């Protein structure tokens, strides 16, 4: 039987990790792996997470099953941060469940959309590679449009066309903030227009929010998504705690459904539960329990938010330094100062990426995506100089 399978290409990022690990040069720079790093190059466990884990060790009295919806205390505790403290459930119209990371939330959102009659998904490109892989695995048609313009701003006209030119069998998948891989977000004014377009269209919104708090702040990063939700009868939100709680390997996410009324919401949630039960039975508990403990304790919450502020400030400082450098060879670095989050995409060729790796020990994805948090005060001059030497 196994001979019927075709070999699959290895994951390019995993291959890059192996190349970096084998490189003996002391001044090598890793801009490939998509995790936050401190000025010292570490990816530490949040102090708030450590504190919550100790509470869990001291008080958890069972490892029994929770069910496909996971830790509903976590799901509920997140809602004021995601949807606003004033009315987190939007009058009872939002219901959610825990998922295995943001990836599980995206998968569940797309699977449920398909079950509800969606056959086509429009998505701006470039995007997170797993979006397209999940769509292909589900057998959903993918229609792409350009996410960004050459000047480093979001292409508003392209997303509006996708929303306005389609109908009830189509969803538009949109990043809530800190776009992966470009860092190019819609402006507040863009979000007003996007929300109005969804309101006047039967196209279904799916919003992937994987980096809340890493752009301008928890409230600021959720503002665009909230504008859409305030205008539409139905929507899905896929949420990740992997980055803003630093729980990458613990796989903590949530899937939220906005429904028109309680009856439709209950029906949708029952279908989501059935899909989750078939896919993973129940999500991993540890990370979700940690998030719940943090958000239910005022001291830990303040500590978590302060740590998140520090992360965001460091990445903003790196972006400001890149922007102040102006150009590196033919590459204009100034737009990076107004972009957000962990990532940026540089207009370099695959050959130039290879040259940066071979001649300068700088490792990045072949697409030109870089992890902003991989840059530090110590290695920024080397990176800018190498880029200038290669990108002529």
Please identify every residue annotated as catalytic.
Answer: 128, 208, 243
Helix (H, G, I), strand (E, B) or coil at 148: strand
- CA 108, distance to chain mean position in Å, is 15
Closest by Cα among 252, 219, 370, 243 to 307: 243
The structure tokens listed for 10 are: 């290895």
C-alpha span between 272 and 266 (Å, rounded): 10
Q: What is the DSSP string of 16-57?
A: HHHHHHH---TT-EE--S-S---TTS--PPPHHHHHHHHHHH
Return the bridge partners of 150, or none: none
Closest by Cα among 376, 78, 111 to 240: 78
Do the beta carbons of residue 131 and residue 109 sit within 8 Å? Answer: no
- CA 139, distance to chain mean position in Å, is 23
C-alpha span between 102 and 238 (Å, rounded): 6
The structure tokens listed for 314 are: 């460091």
Q: How many Cα atoms are found within 13 Å in the side-chain-facing hemisphere of 262?
A: 2
Per-residue CA distances from 321 to 285, 315, 327, 338 (Å): 40, 10, 12, 12
Q: What is the DSSP string of 285-309?
A: SHHHHHHHHHHT-HHHHHHHHHHHH
C-alpha span between 244 and 150 (Å, rounded): 29
């Amino acid at each position: 039987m196994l001979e019927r399978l075709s070999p699959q290409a290895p994951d390019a990022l995993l291959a890059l990790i192996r190349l970096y690990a084998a490189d003996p040069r002391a001044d090598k720079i890793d801009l490939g792996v998509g995790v936050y790093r401190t000025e010292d190059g570490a990816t530490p466990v949040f102090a708030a997470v450590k504190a919550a884990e100790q509470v869990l060790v001291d008080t958890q009295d069972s490892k029994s099953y929770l069910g496909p919806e996971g830790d509903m205390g976590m799901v509920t505790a997140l809602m004021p941060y995601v949807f606003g403290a004033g009315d987190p459930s939007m009058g009872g119209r939002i219901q959610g469940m825990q998922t295995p990371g943001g990836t599980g939330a995206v998968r569940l959102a797309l699977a449920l959309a398909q079950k509800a009659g969606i056959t086509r998904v429009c998505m701006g490109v470039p995007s997170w590679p797993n979006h397209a892989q999940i769509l292909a695995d589900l057998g959903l048609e993918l229609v792409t449009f350009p996410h960004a313009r050459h000047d480093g701003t979001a292409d508003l006209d392209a997303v509006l066309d996708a929303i306005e030119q389609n109908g009830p069998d189509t969803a538009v998948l949109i990043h809530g903030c800190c776009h992966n891989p470009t860092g190019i977000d819609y402006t507040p004014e863009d979000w007003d227009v996007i929300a109005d377009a969804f309101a006047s269209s039967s196209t279904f919104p799916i919003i992937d929010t994987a980096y809340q708090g890493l752009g301008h702040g928890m409230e600021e990063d959720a503002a665009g998504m909230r504008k859409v939700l305030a205008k539409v009868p139905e929507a899905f939100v896929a949420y990740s705690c992997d980055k803003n709680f630093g729980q990458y390997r613990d796989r903590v996410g949530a899937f939220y459904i906005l429904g028109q009324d309680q009856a439709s919401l209950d029906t949708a949630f029952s279908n989501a539960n059935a899909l989750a039960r078939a896919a993973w039975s129940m999500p991993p508990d540890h990370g979700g329990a940690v998030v719940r403990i943090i958000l239910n304790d005022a001291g830990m919450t303040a500590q978590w938010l302060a740590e998140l502020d520090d992360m965001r400030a460091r990445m903003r400082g790196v972006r400001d330094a890149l922007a102040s450098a102006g150009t590196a060879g033919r590459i204009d670095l100034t737009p990076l100062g107004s972009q957000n989050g962990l990532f940026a995409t540089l207009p370099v060729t695959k050959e130039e990426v290879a040259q940066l790796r071979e001649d300068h020990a700088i490792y990045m994805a072949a697409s030109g995506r870089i992890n902003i948090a991989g840059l530090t005060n110590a290695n920024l001059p080397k990176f800018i100089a190498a880029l200038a030497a290669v990108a002529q």
